[in-house]
Amino acid sequence: QVQLVESGGGLVQAGGSLRLSCAASGRTFSTNPMGWFRQAPGKEREFVAAASWSGSSTYYADSVKGRFTISRDNAKNTVYLQMNSLKPEDTAVYYCAARSFSYAHKSTMSHDYDYWGQGTQVTVSS
């Protein structure tokens, strides 16, 4: 059974930092693009960041560019999201996701991702 398990969420003051982790099990994703999405209350799920299978190519939503960094450790089958300079508008449930096709392009579209974690809550207080 394939599982993606996020961790690292929590409550932080504006301007603070958090590091989210997403550990995969059940199969390796070392040749698959992975991404992070988020969903705030009453809003649709939105793209945050994506990394190519090697991690050498990344892409960010404009709202987080320069503040968030996606990285991955394929030996650990884990992807990370370092979040700095957090703002109240970053408050959301954060989900990691993986594409099932090896060497596919990284995507900003949620429907391109086949595996999803259960989400971790990030709350930024002002």
What is the reported pLDDT for 101?
Answer: 87
**Mean pLDDT across the stretch 31-60?**
96
pLDDT in tens, 88-103: 999 999 999 999 988 8
Distance CA 95, CA 8 (A): 12
Tokens of 123: 């709350």
Residues in Cβ contact with 101 at an 8 Å cutoff, skipping those fewer than 6 apart: 32
Contact assessment for residue 105 and residue 39, using Cβ atoms and an 8 Å cutoff: no
CA-wise closest residue to 37 among 116, 123, 125: 116
Q: Give the rounded percent of residues in the chain with a pLDDT score beyond 90.
A: 94
pLDDT in tens, 49-91: 999 999 999 999 999 999 999 999 999 999 999 999 999 999 9
Strands (E), the chain: 3-7, 10-13, 18-25, 34-39, 46-51, 58-60, 68-73, 78-83, 92-98, 115-116, 120-125
pLDDT band for 106, please (50, 70, 90 cuts). confident
Mean pLDDT score across all residues of the chain: 96
Contact assessment for residue 54 and residue 71, using Cβ atoms and an 8 Å cutoff: no
What is the reported pLDDT for 62?
Answer: 98
